């Protein structure tokens, strides 16, 4: 799905606001409201996450943590963020493998 330049610009400008940082990120809900597709029932907006992935793929260094989203501003910050992603990727791969082998080697659901 393609997103409008207006939606991408709104999210990017929101992340570039003074005070938005790794220590004070913007939540997905806040970004959803700024982009114009906040869901009435609440919760994070899948559209917001998709737009952020598009912005990252286009070269915008956006990071996230448990609190929200922010612009990665230094090479050191990018490296620390990428190291964290790689660690999560490794742990996820281990869990996938353990689940698969636990099921297959254990004879499936009992």
CATH number of 1-72: 1.10.10.10
pLDDT in tens, 64-81: 999 999 999 999 999 999
Q: What is the average per-residue pLDDT within 17-24? A: 95
How do the domains of the chain map onto residue ranges?
Answer: 1-72, 74-105
Statement: the pTM of the whole predicted model exceeds 0.85: no
Per-residue model confidence as pLDDT tens digits over 48-58 = 888 999 999 99
Segment among 17-26, 41-50, 53-62 with least mean pLDDT: 41-50
pLDDT given for residue 96 in this prediction = 94
- pLDDT band at 59; cut points 50, 70, 90: very high
Helix axes 5-15, 28-35, angle to 10 degrees: 140
In angstroms, the first-to-last Cα distance of the chain is: 41
CA distance 102 to 45: 34
Report the half-sphere exposure of 87 (CA within 13 A, side-chain side).
6
């Amino acid at each position: 799905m393609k997103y409008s330049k207006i939606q991408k610009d709104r999210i990017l400008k929101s992340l570039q606001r003074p005070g938005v940082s790794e220590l004070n990120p913007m939540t997905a809900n806040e970004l959803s409201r700024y982009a114009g597709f906040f869901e009435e029932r609440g919760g994070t907006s899948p559209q917001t996450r998709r737009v952020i992935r598009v912005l990252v793929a286009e070269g915008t260094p956006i990071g996230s943590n448990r609190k929200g989203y922010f612009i990665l501003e230094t090479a050191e910050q990018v490296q620390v963020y990428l190291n964290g992603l790689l660690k999560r990727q490794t742990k996820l791969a281990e869990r996938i493998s353990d689940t698969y082998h636990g099921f297959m080697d254990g004879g499936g659901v009992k």
